[in-house]
Amino acid sequence: MGVAMTARYAIPLDRFLTVVFAAQSMQTLGLGFACIIALPCLTFVRDRHPWNLVCTAIWSIAWGLFLAAAQVPGGVVRSNVLFVIFGSLTVGVAGLLVCSTCFTTHDRYTGDRLLWSFGASGLVGWVLVLVAPIVLYSQVPALCEHPGHFIAALVVASCIFGWVVYDAGKLCQQMSPDDYMKVRAPWRRDDHLMTI
């Protein structure tokens, strides 16, 4: 997200974007298509350190350039809705992870300290998904050209975030992290053997 915001709004890089990725150009669509195709391909290097970090960094920079190039004036996406969606999702998922791994509560019956549930963490994350873009929009009105686009972007971001919380919560109910690694480790070996 930082790459996209820097590439879109930093003055020298903004000129570079408008020259290389003209409004509604095939280069922009080609970069977006390449990023979408490359995303599943990242699974082939997920167990090969440091190549997994290098490939993920390259993909993240390319995706950030696509987000910035798609939103140049007259571009494929109007009114910066991708920044609203991906920015609010980033803030929400970060809030979800922090709340579900760092904050504890006391069980009133046993006195044990327990981590926050995904429901409670997800609620805090969802509030962040809604509040962070609204605060940013109140400070930078040029974030979206039309309030309807902004509201639609928040609805889409809320739906995606809700799916992430629901899926992660169901996974945590079915198995502990240790059980997950015991089950997933043989699958990774089988995936690795199939790719060779």
Give residues with Cβ within 8 angstroms of 38, minimum separation 6. Answer: 59, 62
pLDDT reported for residue 123 = 94
The beta strands (E) that lie in the chain are given as 104-106, 113-115
Of 77, 110, 134, the domain-final residue:
77
Query: What is the extent of the structural domain holding 154?
Result: 78-196
Same domain assignment for residues 85 and 160: yes
Do 1 and 82 fall within a single domain? no
Domain count, the chain: 2
73 and 89 together in one domain:
no
What pLDDT score was predicted for residue 183? 61
- 96 and 26, same structural domain? no
DSSP code for 110? T
Average pLDDT (19-25) is 80
Q: pLDDT tens, 40-55?
A: 888 888 778 888 889 9
pLDDT digits (tens, 9 = 90+) for 107-162: 888 888 888 888 889 999 999 999 998 998 888 877 677 888 888 889 999 999 99
pLDDT at site 194: 43
**Listed residue (103, 80, 89) closest to 149, CA to CA:** 80
- Mention every residue, 6+ apart, whose C-beta is less than 8 A from residue 191: 43
Q: Are 150 and 133 in contact (CB under 8 A)?
A: yes
Spell out the residues 6+ positions from residue 130 whose beta carbon is closer than 8 angstroms to its own: 88, 154, 158
Q: Which of 40, 61, 77 is the last residue of a domain?
A: 77
Are residue 124 and residue 64 in the same domain, yes or no? no
Tell me which of 77, 110, 128 is where a domain ends: 77
The reply to whether 112 and 53 lie within a common domain is: no
In this structure, the answer to whether residues 82 and 154 fall within a common structural domain is yes
Give Cα 88 to chain centroid, integer Å. 9
What pLDDT, on a 0 to 100 scale, did the predictor assign at position 184? 55
How is 8-34 classified by DSSP, letter by letter? Answer: HHSHHHHHHHHHHS-TT-HHHHHHHHH
Residues 142 and 111 in one domain: yes
CA 9 to chain CA mean position, Å: 20
> Looking at the structure, do residues 57 and 101 belong to the same domain, yes or no?
no
Q: What is the mean pLDDT of residues 59-83?
A: 82
What pLDDT, on a 0 to 100 scale, did the predictor assign at position 193?
42
Question: Do both 70 and 82 map to the same domain?
Answer: no
- Do residues 33 and 71 both lie within one domain? yes
User: Distance of CA 191 to CAs 32, 94, 100, 176, 184, Å?
Assistant: 27, 29, 30, 22, 10
Q: Which pLDDT band, with edges at 50, 70 and 90, does 58 fall under?
A: very high
**CB 92, CB 161: distance < 8 Å:** yes
Q: 32-36, 65-69, 176-180: which has the highest mean pLDDT?
A: 32-36
Three-state SS at 38: helix
Can you tell me whether residue 104 is helix, strand or coil? strand
DSSP state, 125?
Answer: H
Q: Check whether residue 59 and residue 102 sit in a common domain.
A: no
